[in-house]
Amino acid sequence: MTPIICEVSGSIVLLFWLAGGVQVDGCPVKCSCYREPRLTMACQQRGLAAVPTEIPGHVQRIFLQINKLTEVRSTAFSLCRNLTVLWLYSNNIRHIEAGAFYGLERLEELDIGDNGDLRSISSTAFSGLSTLQTLHLHRCGLSELPYGVFMGLSSLQYLYLQDNNLLAIHEDTFLDLANLAVLHLHNNKIKTVSDYMFRGLLSLDSLLLHQNRVSVVHRQAFHDLGRLATLFLFHNNLTALSGETMEPLASLRYLRLNGNQWICDCRAKTLWDWFKTFKGSSSELECHVPERLFGKDLKRLKSGDLEGCYDSHRHTWTSLLNSRSSRYGRLFSTESPLGAVIPTCCLTNTDKSSILSDKGLPDLSSYNSQQITKTPLKEKENISKTKGLEPGISKNGTHKISPGDSSGTLNHPQGKHKRDFTKEQNSDNPLQKKCSQNLKPEGGCLIDSGSTINVVETMLLLVVWLFWSL
């Protein structure tokens, strides 16, 4: 830097020529190069379609943002061993070759954000960047982060992944980022926060997950985030969040959960309890259902407000005191209009025993009367009396129902056989009722003796009639 000495009004003023005007040998034609504060090559907004090949030796900073670059080749910066800052944002980059940044062992900041056509990136794109502290990957159209993409970035402190199309984050994606302090994931399409999504982020201070599609946060999702101070989950699809999930966040100071459709029933109780111990600042948690609590802040409700259960199938509120009667009558639905599943806290012990799978409750219409009520239905017995028996048969004792037999057992000379009245009531044809459910070893069905005698008598009457006719 060359000083210029001037005399103005008898005073000597010392002026220094700013380094920005001093050209460096080997600087590309369309770029400006200067030595202070660090050797820099500035090529922003020059309409460049490719990375310049003439790069000064020992360059420390390269600014190539706001150009028309479409790719970054593996040889583009291979000789820039002293490079600490590289800006490539706001270009048209679609492809980054594997090893494009290999050998940049002193690189501290890499910005390749705002390249909307990038969409995918190699799992080895950042290999060897052991001193990298800041990485910008925002607004790149990324739909997925490959396994191991951040492996070895042990010095990384700031990671910006917002404004992409990420649908999910693989478990242990951030496992090597023990020094990461800021993680921006907002404005993506993430639906689930799994147990090990954030494993390894032991130093994380700020996590922004707002404006996604998160509907589920698993219980161990924040297990390693003991130093987290800021958590944004507003404007997602959350309906419930357990207090156990929030317990590891011992350092949390700023929490935003607004803009979700909270179900304020028994499933919100553990979160409500957790807020009693939370000392930081929080947004409101507006209740979406039930209707009587709509718009109220979950944190300000009383314990009694959360004792019932919202039945999403019928959009009604059911108290736990009368939910026992619903086992055989009105049923709970496990699907809510908000996409939530009714947890076991909303069901009594009796109701819990009836849950056969996570897809819903059993259809009681498929059970017979004895499975549901343990007593026979009188109307079925009456149908059997009128349709299954002839008036003359009951007089000879061949086919008679015992008055005190509630199980519907039939008595006849060959022994007792139980008939299936549930199936019989669905048919008006007596001929379809002759087969008992007791099968012969050969696979045929036994015909009731009463029915056999009835046929024989009919045949005898026919023979007698024919005889007298002749």
Among residues 62, 54, 44, 166, the alpha carbon closest in space to that of 108 is found at 62
Nearest-angstrom CA–CA distance, 125 and 411: 84
Identify whether the C-beta of residue 282 lies closer than 8 Å to the C-beta of residue 256.
Answer: yes
- Fold of the CATH domain 172-185+197-210+221-308: 3.80.10
Per-residue DSSP letter, 351 = H
Q: Among all chains, which residue has been given the structure tokens 């490719």?
A: 50
CATH architecture observed for domain 34-165: Alpha-Beta Horseshoe (3.80)
Q: What is the pLDDT of residue 208?
A: 98
Provide long-range contacts, Cβ within 8 A and 24+ apart, for 393-397. 393/450, 393/453, 393/454
Helices (H), 304-442: 349-352, 369-373, 378-388, 421-424
Q: What is the pLDDT of residue 346?
A: 61
Characterize the bridge pairing of strands 109-111 and 95-96: unpaired
Q: What is the pLDDT of residue 340?
A: 45
pLDDT tens for residues 326-367? Answer: 332 333 333 344 444 555 666 555 454 433 334 343 443 343
Q: What is the pLDDT of residue 366?
A: 40
Which residues does the chain have with pLDDT short of 70? 1-23, 310-455, 470
Q: What is the pLDDT of residue 361?
A: 39
pLDDT tens for residues 134-168? Answer: 999 999 999 999 999 999 999 999 999 999 999 99
Q: Are the folds of 34-165 and 172-185+197-210+221-308 the same?
A: yes
Q: What is the pLDDT of residue 318?
A: 54
> Residue 186 corresponds to which tokens in the numbers above?
């907002």
CA 343 to chain centre: 15
Q: What is the pLDDT of residue 464?
A: 76
Q: What is the pLDDT of residue 452?
A: 55
Nearest-angstrom CA–CA distance, 43 and 33: 9
| Domain ranges within the chain, ordered by starting residue | 34-165, 172-185+197-210+221-308
> Residue 445 corresponds to which tokens in the numbers above?
């069905």
Nearest-angstrom CA–CA distance, 250 and 277: 10
